[in-house]
Chain A
Amino acid sequence: MLAAQAGLKIGDTISLAAQPGAHGDKVIVAAIVRRGADPSEVARGDLRVRLHLDQLQTISGYGDRVDRFAVATTPNTDVSALIDRVNDVAFGFKAYRSSDIAVETSRTFQVVSRFHRAIGVITIVASSVFLLCIMVLKVEERRRDIAALRLMGISRATVIRAIVLEAAVIAVLGSALGIVLGWAISLFVNWHYRGVYQTPLSFSIVTPPIIVGAVALSLVLGIGAGVLASLRLARTPPLQLFGR
């Protein structure tokens, strides 16, 4: 981002200083790097420079100090015990597990996630009403067919089963179409927001549990709507369904 904004390219010599206008160190641009997948950096337009620790300490007047240490442990290490030991003997600093820090820095994403869940619930309610409405209309449209079947001696239960089966088939077909559409939208969302926020993070992921959940939900809603609509018609006398 900095390279693009300042028109920098590899090999350029620039001056780095801690204060605007101050006399800085001359440095050469050795590489242009991509932003890492860090949730805390998404939506922030920070311009970043990477340089040797000692050089930054000199430029910033920081002395022999650092903000933090990253510590890699050997396999099978008891990390909790190690953290406790470090904190017991440490003088002036505190050790944290990387995952705890990740949770803290991704608080923004937790809020966004809660927001998405709430929007999801509203969408499900809206879809349920929509589906119910369509099923009621679809079944009512065939009131004369149903009346004819009933007058021919087809049992009420058979009529209900037929309608529910039809509703289930529609729900399955709709779910299949929805999964393909959702997958395509997910690809588009990732492509779009990775470009907008200059990050390799995934914004939308379609996983098998999500697919199973969506299909199950639409089946339940579809069958439920079919049952409700068919019960209503099955209870009405056939002649009344004919409008006589």
Chain B
Amino acid sequence: MRGALAQASLIRHRARTALAVLGVAIAAAMLLDMVMLATGMRESFRELLLSRGFQLRLAPKGTLPFDTDATIPGVSAIIDTLRTNPAISDISPVLGASIHFVGSGRDVSGSAIGIDPAVQGDYELVSGRDLASTDDIVVNDFMWRQLGAHLGDTLTVALGYDPQTRTYSGQRRLVLVGTVRFIYGANDQPGAALRREALEGMGGSGASAGRVLRDRASLFMVRVRNGADAEQVRNWIEAKIPTVSAISIATAIAQVDERLSYFRQLALILGAVSLFVGFLLVTTLVTVSVNERAGEIAVMRAIGISRSHVIQQIVIEGVAITVLGAVLGLGLGLVTARYLNTILSAFPGLPMAIDFFLFQPRAAWSALGLLVVSGIGAGIYPAWRAASLPIAESLRREAIA
């Protein structure tokens, strides 16, 4: 009965109801997008860091992974130290450097990482095969296109370039054996990977001979055994190895949170504004609707319809507009989120796996829940006004009108 009356009231003014539903839908879409933005970025980054199961990263003391050219000396000694902790299952040292491809007619350069293929967590093979010997190299799609090379080609790769003498240093001939996708790399950055010992061998042995890379790493990725406390291992590493900063997933997320706090705050403000606009729209619509039907409501009260019945009917009207708008807004929100994500994914140097707008059912339910609560809230004031109308006076005013 209450539902039928509410439905009749909404259908009576189709255009007005449709506009209100559309308004709520846009507010709901914006709210959903902002909830996705606020939670998605962090979740996406966490998933990315955990995608290969490494819970800890060791970077040169006071730096973030690959934030500077600094390297950690004494890789063998550090691995030996780490192996004494039974909670650590895998250690993947990574060495980073800039490389140049020589003799391709033009200077093709990019970043390269030296890894141990057995424990690496930096890339996924796309085509060809993985690094089997120190003579192999794999590149990402971007670099592959720039090189215009084929799998099986032998390429001359140099570690250093002296612009004054226009000579390359640390040259080595490597066979292109595969193409890869770097998990933490950006789409628009040329990248390559080779075995760490191969990259080390291309470095100089003294300051005058170029960059010294022997027994050095830019980063260690550490996998902790199931059941072990990663934070405890992190503290142990910081105490045992003074040349590194041990970074856990929580610390890394906190760093990213700090750098991208702007988007979280923007999401919070715009989300709150959307919710308020939706609330205001429903309140206005239902209030006007109640004012128009003052006489009708007075008649209902006069023939014995209870005050709670009237309140429920009007609250149902508000909730119905909100729910309809929210359902429409869900689809609209997903479309706009995809578009906005495309814009933000153009951030320079951002790993391609990072999503600013990550759809999570919990986030969608939260947005919907907030809207329904605001819809109930929006109906309460007009409902209270309607239920409090003096019956006789309202009927008299209606008769005169």
Binding site for B on A (CB under 8 A): 19-21, 43-45, 47, 61, 91-93, 107-108, 111, 114-115, 118-119, 122-123, 125-126, 129-130, 132-134, 136-137, 140-141, 144, 193, 196, 232
Chain B neighbourhood of A137, CB < 8 A: 16, 284-285, 288
Chain A neighbourhood of B166, CB < 8 A: 91-92
Nearest-Cβ distance from residue B18 to partner chain A, whole angstroms: 10
**B contacts with A, residue count (CB < 8 A):** 49
Chain B neighbourhood of A125, CB < 8 A: 26
Q: Report the Cα distance A118→B30, complex, angstroms.
A: 12
Q: Report the Cα distance A93→B284, complex, angstroms.
A: 66
Interface SS majority for chain B: helix
Nearest-Cβ distance from residue A179 to partner chain B, whole angstroms: 17
Q: Is the CB of A132 within 8 A of B19?
A: yes
Q: Report the Cα distance A196→B266, complex, angstroms.
A: 14
Chain A neighbourhood of B27, CB < 8 A: 126
Nearest-Cβ distance from residue B12 to partner chain A, whole angstroms: 12
Q: Is B75 part of the contact surface with A, judged by Cβ < 8 Å?
A: no
Binding site for A on B (CB under 8 A): 13, 15-16, 19-20, 22-23, 26-27, 29-30, 60-62, 70, 73, 162-166, 207, 242-243, 255, 258-262, 270, 274, 277, 280-281, 284-285, 288, 291-292, 336, 339-340, 343-344, 346-348, 401
Q: Is the CB of A21 within 8 A of B340?
A: no
Q: Is the CB of A20 within 8 A of B277?
A: no
Q: Report the Cα distance A47→B62, complex, angstroms.
A: 10
From B163, B255, B343, B347, contact of A108 by CB (8 A): B347
10 contacts between A and B (CB under 8 A): A20-B243, A21-B61, A118-B340, A130-B23, A130-B277, A133-B285, A134-B284, A137-B288, A141-B288, A196-B261
Nearest-Cβ distance from residue B349 to partner chain A, whole angstroms: 9
Q: Is the CB of B242 within 8 A of A20?
A: yes
Nearest-Cβ distance from residue B381 to partner chain A, whole angstroms: 16
Chain A neighbourhood of B22, CB < 8 A: 129
Q: Is the CB of B347 within 8 A of A111?
A: yes
Q: Is the CB of B61 within 8 A of A20?
A: yes
From A118, A132, A193, contact of B343 by CB (8 A): A118
Chain B neighbourhood of A111, CB < 8 A: 343-344, 346-348
Q: Is the CB of A19 within 8 A of B70?
A: yes
Chain A neighbourhood of B260, CB < 8 A: 43
Can you name the residue of chain A whose Cβ is closest to the Cβ of B18? A133
Q: Is the CB of B19 within 8 A of A122?
A: no
Chain B neighbourhood of A108, CB < 8 A: 347-348
Nearest-Cβ distance from residue A227 to partner chain B, whole angstroms: 15
Q: Is the CB of A126 within 8 A of B26?
A: yes
Nearest-Cβ distance from residue A137 to partner chain B, whole angstroms: 5
Q: Is the CB of B30 within 8 A of A44?
A: no
Can you name the residue of chain B whose Cβ is closest to the Cβ of A114? B343
